[in-house]
Amino acid sequence: MAIFKRKISIQSEVATGFGVNSEDSSGRFYDRKSGSANVIKRGIGVLNRYSWYHTMLAMPRTKFLWLLLIAYIIVNLIFAGIYYMIGIDHLAGVNQGSDIKNFSEVFFFSAQTFTTVGYGRISPVGFAASAVSTFEAFLGLLSFAIATGLFCGRFSRPRAFLSFSHNALIAPYKEGIALMFRMAPYKNNLLSEAEVKVNLAMQLEENGKMVNRFFNLDLEISKINALALSWTIVHPINEKSPLYNFNYTDMVNAKIEALVFVKAFDEVFSNTVVQRFSYIAPEVVWGAKFRMMYHADEKKKATVLDLNKLNDYEKIELLSPVITAQ
Amino acid sequence: MAIFKRKISIQSEVATGFGVNSEDSSGRFYDRKSGSANVIKRGIGVLNRYSWYHTMLAMPRTKFLWLLLIAYIIVNLIFAGIYYMIGIDHLAGVNQGSDIKNFSEVFFFSAQTFTTVGYGRISPVGFAASAVSTFEAFLGLLSFAIATGLFCGRFSRPRAFLSFSHNALIAPYKEGIALMFRMAPYKNNLLSEAEVKVNLAMQLEENGKMVNRFFNLDLEISKINALALSWTIVHPINEKSPLYNFNYTDMVNAKIEALVFVKAFDEVFSNTVVQRFSYIAPEVVWGAKFRMMYHADEKKKATVLDLNKLNDYEKIELLSPVITAQ
Amino acid sequence: MAIFKRKISIQSEVATGFGVNSEDSSGRFYDRKSGSANVIKRGIGVLNRYSWYHTMLAMPRTKFLWLLLIAYIIVNLIFAGIYYMIGIDHLAGVNQGSDIKNFSEVFFFSAQTFTTVGYGRISPVGFAASAVSTFEAFLGLLSFAIATGLFCGRFSRPRAFLSFSHNALIAPYKEGIALMFRMAPYKNNLLSEAEVKVNLAMQLEENGKMVNRFFNLDLEISKINALALSWTIVHPINEKSPLYNFNYTDMVNAKIEALVFVKAFDEVFSNTVVQRFSYIAPEVVWGAKFRMMYHADEKKKATVLDLNKLNDYEKIELLSPVITAQ
Amino acid sequence: MAIFKRKISIQSEVATGFGVNSEDSSGRFYDRKSGSANVIKRGIGVLNRYSWYHTMLAMPRTKFLWLLLIAYIIVNLIFAGIYYMIGIDHLAGVNQGSDIKNFSEVFFFSAQTFTTVGYGRISPVGFAASAVSTFEAFLGLLSFAIATGLFCGRFSRPRAFLSFSHNALIAPYKEGIALMFRMAPYKNNLLSEAEVKVNLAMQLEENGKMVNRFFNLDLEISKINALALSWTIVHPINEKSPLYNFNYTDMVNAKIEALVFVKAFDEVFSNTVVQRFSYIAPEVVWGAKFRMMYHADEKKKATVLDLNKLNDYEKIELLSPVITAQ
């Protein structure tokens, strides 16, 4: 593995915000699905460590709705308990019966207060029950104000909605080879002025110690006006590339990870959106090229983009003198 | 059509995000009215393919309000069905009568619960009806929280509100000619730092195959401080222009499309807004110039911009040696 | 006025988005108070010409609240009319009396429905009244969803909250003179990365015709890190300045207007804010300099900024050979 | 203190927006906790001076919620007073008793109206009480619309959530020394494209008068792609540094303050966030270096960042010829 000792021009090195000591990192730098960094924070209280708003925004939709429903039930159980302790006589109109029936009547009264339905069949009499219900109605409206704020936040949270090909390919390119992968927008948002940056993380031996190094990969095209169809990102592997003369085994040994960062302007939201993705050595296919994933539909006078074909590639022999290993 | 074979300097070529094979595209690249790309997506489920929030935001106002009303009626029909199945005896105060009358009573009770009006003439008794109404009131508030979020999103969605002249003109300009079109803001928003980019798509023959090529058009002025009046965009057709020596027939044959992209800062929203538009060959008028569309109003001490005149032009003979074809 | 015929280097000319023919403009370009351009739009329907959302956002607070209240009363009057036409017998619990008393009962029932209070003393019976109240409750919630959206928009609308000195001064500066004015933030917002641009509009004689010309004024400092105190903008009047060798009468004759555009980053909103202002010749004071408007408060360990002193200046003799005219 | 008289290259001087006369400033420029400038504004009315929206947004959460609750109680007390003056006979269903009992009944009726619960046990009869309750319900919904707007604003207010090391260090760096401090994100937000600027404020003697001067400090790395782990900011103290040849006593005498400004892109909010911090001479430790604050967790395949260690440093002897003073 003498190759890892060779001096790589410092000019293409970049500061990624990740540590240099390879002992201090393990596994991927980026989680592939969420695009977030594989970092665990410790040392301060859990309440300080989480921005509950960020948590609420990043939560999947179904989980978020269940959370609201469960919170609604718990709050009503608590208030039902309070009304029950104050005494069922302070609520006019309750159909008294067994303890369970009484408690359920009180629970439903609480819900009618919290949601401000207030049918009025059951209504508070006396100071204690009235005061509690006055506070509960306030809390109810406040809660729904907060819920509305959360919905606003979740709705207006800009996301890029980009799909990436599962594999990156080492494909023929001009006289040599290139690292290629592609992406496509899969929703009805409209992205323009898209820009992509690819950093390569690898472990190199320096002074007998393994260290992480990060390099910027030159791209054939790194900016496009509109991201309407698929976009194939091409990094030519030439003398200036940190991947020059690497074969598959070298990639695995150097634990390479291509860190992809896409930034675009969403024209519906009028906001900048970003997305991250990464490829590690076992996800790189040697000697393959992508198949076209769009074609003209003459009848509809439009271009059809088939998202199922995002990772469609065909094997192809590389003519370059690079040793293919897979 | 030997002209299409000539080598055009690669320097003005741009990556637009559209495909190169002319077989893979048909018709316009941009839909003229909405400014969105003429691309149809396939291959993944319709639910994944649409961001319902983007859909809700882009929907016309009237359609959106009807949708809300219809959803309101459907939800109440469903809950009315549930209450009806539970039994009308579980709702105190119903004026019983025919089946239809009973169902309508139940329907109105559902609406009073969903909107949290809760008059209380009809009110639930017994566990089942109470539980359902407890859930319905929760769902009602949640729905209106979501509706509020959607209104927030629709309201705060920044749009440029720019009108474009229906035609682009080939007009006299200095010693030669220029491609001109104009735009004007038609609402009471305030745009500043406006910037325009024009790309030209054309089909050229390369190695016996028709390919799409995209060029950046140099503009006389591409940035202005404030977009308060009309703005005429001028592309001088000189040696550096990809349209140099074209006549009208050439434009039609090359299936040219001028892709216009405007970006500005809306001072009321404090947000960046963008708008797209496009011109194809049949929309280009040869030998014409725009008439002034604003004049001073001495009484009101202001400049009057007449939006009706946006496409007002007069025919004019071109002195340049270019062959006019229309 | 031979001075206006002199050729001014085209390099400092800028595109402001205003017209060139001086006949087509009258009065100031910018309204001083609102900072918006003095342009009146005509030619399309008033509904298309106004973005009602922009109107609602730009409206003064008191006017906006009155508008909501009046709309609330009108909507209830309309619905009261509908219930009254359906017949007061369809509303159970109405204390019947004179026509006016009946109508007021119906009006209050409408309000209780629209706001979803729904006391239930009065409640609809029969299909027609129930259906109308079902729709009214829906409309009520929708209206408040829209109102909430408007409040969100009004609240989150970023404004710079900058005050400008009423006068611009011609003050001594180094060996010569300079045009100076100053601004200060007057609220508890936090502006950083402030940037200012000043364009000068003037009417020049060209080929026997008066035309508007716009020039960029070079500033001593045009960017600062934080706009925490007052900021004096300095344009040195040297050979490169379009105001070089002007005296007060020249300024009046050329109808100069200094168009000021400030852009900053509001750290509370995390948004870019802009503000416009302008000075015309009669607002320029010849031979004066600003007095300091802040001082250290040793007790409170802070700098005190006295906003009352924003326009405080003292007259001073200009040593330069410029003819002062005021 | 002859050192303060030496001429410092004007090239690194920056406009910070703070005054030059040292008499006009006292204490720190930036409040360390809030990051806001130590400026007090005077001279215009308190209502004009505060943007109540900014105030509501910047207020701590608990204080904000108490404020809402207290406002709720006060509004209900006022309306209760009005109903009480109109006369308790205009409210049907009140359980009359002592004055206090009557007032509390009226208070609870007010709350039921304001929150639109409207049980209906108590309901208004007659014009006056009905009209007031009609207005109160309107006001109630409006208030909650405003509260919702404030919650939206508070939630979506982007903050950087960065912690800074309490001390800055003078640490060995290459052949010389450097000023170092570090920061770390402490919440689950995701920052990318982070950029840091450090300005140094110091008091210098110029023409026998003490003046404030501001310098830009060159940083080893001032931009990183992702701020996922801790980030140590390094300013090498070489010939170009305004701190060159300073010792601890010099720093104290010159009243230096390092003004730190961080700007990053929050990928969850898709918004730019900024944060300020500052270090003064007594907060600088001479001869120390930071200990690592993250390590690999092999089991969880992630990097662990221990926020407790943010200010962990060890004393180290400086080999450079600089006189250490602490």
Task: Please give the torsion angle defined by the CA atoms of residues B222, B227, B229 and B232, in that order, rounded to the nearest 10 degrees.
Answer: 20
Is the pLDDT at C313 greater than 80, yes or no? Answer: yes
- The count of other CB atoms within 10 Å of the CB of residue D308 is 10
Residue D302: pLDDT over 80: no
Residue-wise pLDDT tens digits, C51-84:
788 888 888 889 999 999 999 999 999 999 999 9
State how far residue A181 is from chain C, nearest Cα, in angstroms: 35
Confidence of residue C325 (pLDDT cuts 50, 70, 90): very low
Digit-coded pLDDT (tens) for D249-296:
888 888 899 999 999 988 877 788 888 899 999 999 999 999 988 887
The tokens of A105 are what?
Answer: 């009547």
Size of interface C-D (CB pairs under 8 A): 199
Picking from D18, D153, D271, the nearest residue to C228 by CB comes out as D18
Q: Considering only the C-alpha atoms of chain B, give the largest distance between any 2 of them, rounded to a whole number of Å.
A: 91
Token duo for residue C35: 């900072």
Helix (H, G, I), strand (E, B) or coil at B214: strand
**Could you tell me if A145 lies within 8 Å of chain D, comparing CB atoms?**
yes
Q: Considering only CA atoms, give the Rg of chain C.
A: 29
- Beta carbons within 10 angstroms of residue B222's beta carbon: 16
* Identity of the residue in D107, D270, D304 whose CB atom sits nearest the CB atom of A157: D270
pLDDT digits (tens, 9 = 90+) for B176-193: 899 999 999 888 777 888
Q: How many Cβ atoms from other residues are within 10 Å of residue D7's Cβ?
A: 7
In chain B, alpha helices (H): 46-49, 52-58, 61-86, 99-114, 127-156, 248-253
Confidence band of D4 (pLDDT split at 50, 70, 90): very low
Burial A169-181 (b: 16+ CB within 10 A, else e): bbbbbeebbbbbb
CA distances for B9 relative to A219, B198, B239, angstroms: 21, 17, 11
Q: How far apart are CA D295 and CA D292, in angstroms?
A: 8
Mean pLDDT value across chain A: 84
Q: Is the pLDDT of residue C193 over 70?
A: yes
Chains sharing 3 or more CB pairs under 8 A with chain B: A, C, D
DSSP per residue, B12-33: GB---SS-SBGGG--S-SB-TT
B50, B141, B157: residue with CB nearest A115: B141
Question: How many Cα neighbours within 13 Å face the side chain of D134?
Answer: 24
Report d(CA C233, CA C278) in Å as an integer.
13
Burial label for A254, CB within 10 Å (0-12, 13-18, 19+), is buried
- Chain D window 221-280: which residues touch A at a Cβ cutoff of 8 Å? 221, 223-229, 231, 265, 267-270
Q: What rounded mean pLDDT belongs to chain B?
A: 84
Which one, of B206, D192, B15, B199, lies nearest residue A234 by Cα?
B15
- Specify the range with the lowest mean pLDDT, choosing from A21-25, A87-91, B294-298: A21-25
- Distance, in Å, from the CA atom of C22 to the CA atom of C205, rounded to the nearest integer, reads 10
Residue of C nearest to D113 (CA): C117
- Inform me whether the C-beta atom of residue C47 falls under 8 Å from chain D C-beta atoms: no
Q: How many CB atoms lie within 10 A of CB B71?
A: 12
Instruction: Give the pLDDT score at D274.
Output: 87
Rounded to whole angstroms, the Cα distance separating D301 from A28 reads: 8
The tens digit of pLDDT for each residue in C83-118 reads 999 999 999 888 888 999 999 999 999 999 999 999
Cα(D183)–Cα(D166) distance, rounded to whole angstroms?
A: 10
Q: How many CA atoms does the CB half-sphere of D269 hold within 13 Å?
A: 26
In degrees and rounded to multiples of 5, residue D318 shows phi and psi of -85, 125
Q: Do the Cβ atoms of B261 and A221 come within 8 Å?
A: no
Q: Among B122-136, B273-287, D33-47, D107-121, name the one with the lowest average pLDDT.
A: D33-47
Alpha helix positions (H), chain D: 46-49, 52-58, 61-86, 99-114, 127-156, 248-253
| Half-sphere exposure in the Cβ direction for A323 (13 Å, CA) | 8
Per-residue pLDDT for D228 more than 90? no
Q: Would you call B305 and C40 a contact, using CB atoms and an 8 Å cutoff?
A: yes
Look at the block and give the residue holding tokens 């003979």: B317
Which residue did the predictor score with more confidence, D80 or D213?
D80
Strand partners, B184: B163
Chains meeting D at 3+ CB pairs closer than 8 A?
Answer: A, B, C
Percent of chain D exceeding pLDDT 90 equals: 41
Cα nearest neighbour of D51 on chain C: C187
Q: Per-residue pLDDT for B9 more than 50?
A: no
Task: Say which range, B104-108, C79-83, D91-95, D294-298, has the weakest mean pLDDT.
Answer: D294-298
Residue numbers in D near B148 (CB within 8 A): 148
A110 touches chain B (CB under 8 A): no
Please name the residues in contact with D209: beta carbons below 8 A apart, sequence gap of 6 or more. Answer: none
Task: Please give the average per-residue pLDDT across A256-278, as a whole number.
Answer: 87
Work out the pLDDT band at C1, boundaries 50, 70, 90.
very low
- Residue to substitute from B62, B79, B117, B150, interface C, most C β-carbons within 10 A: B117
Give chain B positions within 8 Å (CB) of C27: 301-302
pLDDT at B226: 83
Count of CB atoms situated within 10 Å of the CB of B142: 19
Q: Which two tokens stand for residue B260?
A: 């216009």
Q: How far is A270 from chain C (nearest CA, A)?
A: 13
Tokens of D187: 């919440």
Q: Label residue B246 left, alpha or beta by phi (over 0 means left) and psi (-120 to 50 means alpha).
A: beta
Q: What is the pLDDT of residue D268?
A: 75
Model pLDDT for residues B114-171, shown as the tens digit of each residue: 999 999 889 998 899 999 999 999 999 999 999 988 888 888 777 888 999 999 999 9
pLDDT higher than 50, residue B3: no
Q: How many CB pairs under 8 A join A and B?
A: 201
Residue A199: other Cβ atoms inside 10 A: 23
Q: What is the pLDDT of residue B323?
A: 45
Contacts A96 to B, Cβ<8 Å: none
Structure tokens that stand for B315 in this block? 């025919």
pLDDT tier, D159 (very low <50, low <70, confident <90, very high otherwise)? confident
Q: Which of A148-162, C229-243, D24-38 has the lowest mean pLDDT?
A: D24-38
Minimum Cα–Cα distance from A130: chain D residue? D108
Structure-derived torsion over alpha carbons of residues A169, A171, A176, A179, reported in degrees to the nearest 10: -20
Whether residue C108 and residue D38 make contact (CB cut-off 8 A), yes or no, is no
- Which of D 151-210 lie inside 8 A of B, CB atoms? 152
pLDDT at D108 (0 to 100): 95
Say if residues B324 and B245 touch (Cβ distance below 8 Å): no
D35 dihedral zone (left: phi>0; alpha: psi -120 to 50; beta): left
Residue A323 confidence (pLDDT): 45
State the DSSP string of C253-291.
HTT-EEEEEEEEEETTTTEEEEEEEEEEGGGEEESEEEP
**Closest residue in B to C26 (Cα–Cα):** B301
ipTM: 0.79
Torsion of CA A85, A88, A89, A94, to 10 degrees: 170
Nearest Cα to B11, choosing from B212, B201, B214?
B214
Tokens for C175, please give them.
């060996």
